[in-house]
A and B are shown apart, each in its own frame.
Chain A
């Protein structure tokens, strides 16, 4: 019954979604009676999809094997956490999570959005319903998560062992909230284009939603990067894989949007551009979902990827993105030109930020799709790897950091060169000192890493400069948010530069008893012993690491073999020190009794994720600050 109830809730939700759309269209056209039902319908629709998703989780937790999806992805002897997370460790379940988040985001707009002009809000909820309908259809016609099998098999097939990691419980939901949260910005843009209501009030209404989605995207990407780093055992933290790029592209667009919406809110500038970015940000989420779900870039051929699903998603892309861009083309001419500003001003700095972020987005998009385009033109296969992305996006990212350092020190509307130079001078001096010091200490350092370290130093100072001569207690929370987030960029950049230029990597063939020096550590290969877990067996090395005269640390990397399905994985052993990480991987046994050991000393690598966390914390502070300020202005809020 639970599965039927879930399917019923989904159909009802779809029906309410259609009602929401029709009512919103009529209400925007002036039907006063229907304006009152749009919001309640949006909330009811969200409750139904959330119910359907909750029921699917329940089916997974109690391992109801009469449901095909549960049978294919669940197992009664798995721990609770993995039975729970297996709900979205598959196509149908993750698409249901997508739709549930979409519904809840729409309901949140219906419940909490009070700043937006009523007609624009109704059009926004209509936009949300249009997106919802397409994805309901996708679920109900091409990816039904509640399909039954008869007779029910005695046991489920279990979850891919590589996914049996706490990361699965956290990483996909966070990213999805970020992806789908951007749908709100998309619907806001649609609403504003329909009613031609674009201005500071609209921007102030949209900003918290963008910030919220952006925080979750930042967290999801940061967590995903660390997961890949420790789980894959390759010592890297970003691989420019299409799936990674699929999450980076919406983030780049959302970051640009976050800054352009501020120009619109503060100075009533960049109207058309802000709408464009709102459309692009969610479009990138959908393109990313399509790339991952259709398998056109990652898989060699059909592997549990139904071509019908890819076609369906592609059709949705054409309707939504094409429709939004057509609406943009038709209506943007009637959106009044925003306020003008001087080429040297905070606005101009933010425009530079937007152009650079968009250029990087373009580079990543082209690099991700390039293999496809080349194949279409010349029928040859190739792959674009880190050399392209680093060489093309790296320099732009560094220019962006330089703009970022100067941006918050610029005045709104109009600034002058000489006072600006005075404000920027301390940071420039720091950057120069770091540049010279690093070059002297490490003459052979790569130019990008050298500039990265110098700019990180300069940015670290420049990012806290807006607090200079301010009463710290009376500084608004969103200023603190900006400072912390920008500082996070400096911290992360320093981590990336240190990791790429100062990492010591040793690949050795060692006998038991031998000692190897890696960076500041000397590592003794003490033993190799077999060990086992619930569904794997492994060879586990014991490595004793010692730094100078310090304590002896024990690290135990494993080479694991799972038997269902037979998969070999490397379980890394990592020791985190204040100034970096010791990263160890056990490889194969040679023919002569030696073992392959891969040992890395990665100075300050943890700064990469610490910086990511700071960026998310900064976003959170800004969000709380904005909401707090809005609460203190009740007239504006409860208009």
Chain B
């Protein structure tokens, strides 16, 4: 084996490695329409996830007012990136409620102190039960819930800044 040929494996690997680096760096945003859309939120009652905020139950989502339900966790990095957008949505008058997945109260308190708290209530979903029942497989995900407690739409992955206005309109339209 002579000349440039002996370096071919290294070059092939560098190409492969670049593809992997790209895959790791680029967040995935596939949107597959959930079968849960149009269905009612599964019934659940979750205890408070952190001191100072109430827990969350499904009956509170069917009181005639639309909500934005955000499933997140303090250990999730994209959730940090999403925090300013959630704050903007809450400031626009949309009631935002949260479900914290596999989280710990003190970690969650630190997360809210650092990134701001847009939530009116956060339920603790320690074993991902409600998350799975909602048809969500990861964090963060957000659901637009209408006044009757039905799922109108689902956002998989973090909410981007350019989507805030659209999402606020969607929640307000979901009577």
By a beta-carbon cutoff of 8 Å, the part of chain A in contact with chain B is 72, 149, 157-158, 272, 276, 279-280, 283, 287, 290, 294, 296-297, 299-304, 306-307, 310-311, 314, 317-318, 321-322, 325-326, 328-329, 332-333, 365, 369, 372-373, 375-376, 381, 564-567
Contact = CB atoms under 8 A, between A and B. Distances in A.
B90 to A, nearest CB: 22
Interface in B1-45: 1-2, 6-7, 9-10, 13-14, 16-17, 19-24, 26-30
Contacts of A287: 16, 20
A301 B133 contact: no
A300 B30 contact: yes
A302 B133 contact: no
B21 A314 contact: yes
Given A158-B127, A302-B77, A329 B10 contact: yes
A300 B19 CA distance: 17
Given A333-B6, A565-B132, A300 B156 contact: yes
B6 A332 contact: yes
A303 B139 contact: yes
A395 B26 CA distance: 35
Contacts of A279: 9
B128 A565 contact: yes
A317 B20 contact: yes
B133 A300 contact: no
Contacts of A296: 20, 23-24, 28
Contact of A157 (B1, B78, B126): B126
Contact of B127 (A276, A326, A565): A565
B1 A272 contact: yes
Contact of A328 (B10, B26, B30): B10
A325 B13 contact: yes
Given A300-B137, A567-B132, 13 more contacts: A157-B102, A280-B9, A296-B23, A303-B137, A304-B102, A322-B13, A326-B10, A328-B10, A329-B10, A369-B16, A369-B19, A372-B22, A564-B127
B149 interface: no
A31 B117 CA distance: 62
* A158, A276, A373 pick with most chain B CB within 10 angstroms: A373
A326 B14 CA distance: 11
A317 B26 CA distance: 19
A72 to B, nearest CB: 7
A372 B139 contact: no
B76 interface: yes
Interface in B35-91: 75-78
Interface of B: 1-2, 6-7, 9-10, 13-14, 16-17, 19-24, 26-30, 75-78, 102, 104, 126-129, 132-133, 137-140, 156-157
A325 B129 contact: no
Contact of B138 (A280, A299, A373): A299
Nearest to B132: A565
A333 B2 contact: yes
Contacts of B156: 300-301
A376 B22 CA distance: 7
* A290, A317, A365 pick with most chain B CB within 10 angstroms: A317
A384 B13 CA distance: 22
* A276, A318, A322, A325 pick with most chain B CB within 10 angstroms: A325
A314 B24 contact: yes
CB-based closest 3 A-B pairs: A303-B138, A325-B10, A296-B23
Contact of B9 (A157, A310, A328, A381): A328
B138 A307 contact: no
Given A301-B157, A372-B19, A381-B30, A149 B127 contact: no
Given A276-B9, A329-B9, A314 B129 contact: no
Nearest to A290: B20
Contacts of A297: 23
A373 B6 contact: no
Contacts of A280: 9
14 contacts: A280-B9, A296-B28, A297-B23, A299-B138, A301-B157, A302-B76, A318-B17, A321-B17, A326-B10, A329-B7, A329-B9, A332-B1, A369-B16, A565-B132
Given A301-B27, A372-B19, A566 B132 contact: yes
Contacts of B20: 287, 290, 296, 314, 317, 369, 372
Contact of A322 (B17, B75, B102, B104): B17
Contact of B19 (A276, A332, A376, A566): A376
A130 B156 CA distance: 40
A332 B1 CA distance: 7
* B19, B23, B29 pick with most chain A CB within 10 angstroms: B23
A299 B28 CA distance: 9
Contact of B104 (A149, A272, A565): A149
A322 B10 contact: yes
Contacts of B77: 302, 306-307
Contact of B17 (A310, A311, A317, A332): A317
A181 B29 CA distance: 37
Contact of A310 (B24, B76, B78, B127): B24
B6 A328 contact: yes
Contacts of A567: 132
A447 B40 CA distance: 50
B21 A300 contact: no
A301 B21 contact: no
B128 A302 contact: no
Contacts of B140: 301-302
Nearest to B128: A565
Nearest to A279: B9
A301 B129 contact: no
Given A72-B102, A333-B2, A307 B10 contact: no
A301 B28 contact: yes
A304 B26 CA distance: 17
A333 B1 contact: yes
Contacts of B76: 302
Nearest to A150: B106
Contacts of A299: 28, 137-138
Nearest to A283: B13
Nearest to B78: A302
Contacts of A310: 24
Contacts of A321: 13, 17
A30 B26 CA distance: 48
Nearest to B4: A329
